[in-house]
Chain A
Amino acid sequence: MFLTTAHVRKKETVAQNCFTLSLHEEKIASHCTPGQFVHVRLSAGYDPFLRRPFSIAAADPAEGVFRLLIQVVGEGTRLLQRIQEGQTLDCLGPLGSGFIPGEAPYFLVAGGIGAAPLIFLAQALSKQNQPVRYYYGTASAAERVSLHAWLPTAIEQIDATEDGSKGFSGRVTAAVNRDILQGKKPGQIMACGPQAMLQELVRLNAAWKVPMQFSLEERMACGTGACQGCAVEIAEETGATNFLRVCREGPVFEAHKVVEFHANASN
Chain B
Amino acid sequence: MQTLQIELGSLVLKNPFMAASGTFGFGEEYADIMDLKVLGALVVKGLTLKPQKGNKPPRVVETPAGMLNAIGLQNPGLDSFLARELPRLNQQGIPVIVNINGAEENDFVTLARELQEAPGILALELNVSCPNVKEGGMAFGTSPVVLSGLVEKVKRVCRMPLIVKLSPNVTDIGEIARAAERSGADILSLINTIKGMVIDTHTATPLLGNLTGGLSGPAIRPVAVRMVYEVFQATGLPLIGMGGVTSLQDALEFFMAGASAVAVGAGNFVAPDTIPRLIADLQSYLENKGLNSPAVLTGLAHGRY
Contact = CB atoms under 8 A, between A and B. Distances in A.
Interface stretch (B29-37, B77-85, B103-111, B180-188): B29-37
B63 A229 contact: no
A169 B57 CA distance: 34
B64 interface: yes
A51 B74 contact: no
Contact of B60 (A1, A46, A220, A248): A220
Contact of A3 (B24, B57, B272): B272
A21 interface: no
Which has the most chain A C-beta neighbours within 10 Å: B58, B66, B272, B273? B272
A227 B46 CA distance: 11
Interface in B22-42: 22-25, 28-30, 32-33
Contacts of A243: 53-54, 57, 74
Contacts of B271: 41
B65 interface: yes
A238 to B, nearest CB: 14
B266 interface: yes
Contacts of A105: none
Nearest to A39: B269
A227 B60 contact: yes
B67 A49 contact: yes
A49 B66 contact: yes
Contacts, number: 106
A223 B25 CA distance: 12
Nearest to A46: B218
Chain B: interface size category: 35 or more
Given A1-B32, A46-B246, A230 B62 contact: no
A221 interface: yes
- B22, B55, B57, B273 interface centre (most CB from chain A within 10 Å): B57
Name which of A1, A219, A230 has the most chain B CB atoms within 10 A of its CB: A219
Given A49-B63, A49-B217, A227 B23 contact: yes
B66 A228 contact: no
B59 to A, nearest CB: 5
A230 B67 contact: no
Contact of B269 (A47, A48, A222, A242): A222
Contact of B272 (A49, A92, A220): A92
A218 interface: yes
Contacts of B100: none
Contacts of A230: 57, 59-60
A2 B54 contact: no
A219 B58 contact: yes
B270 A226 contact: no
A41 to B, nearest CB: 7
Interface in A204-251: 218-233, 242-243, 248
A155 interface: no
A14 interface: no
A258 to B, nearest CB: 12
A50 interface: yes
Contacts of A47: 64-65, 218
Contact of B62 (A50, A218, A223): A50
Which A-B residue pairs are the 9 nearest by beta carbons? Answer: A229-B60, A47-B65, A226-B25, A222-B269, A226-B29, A224-B29, A1-B32, A3-B33, A225-B29
26 contacts: A1-B32, A41-B270, A47-B64, A47-B65, A48-B62, A49-B62, A49-B65, A92-B33, A219-B59, A219-B61, A219-B62, A221-B266, A221-B269, A222-B272, A225-B25, A225-B29, A226-B23, A227-B60, A227-B71, A228-B25, A228-B45, A228-B74, A229-B69, A230-B60, A231-B54, A232-B57
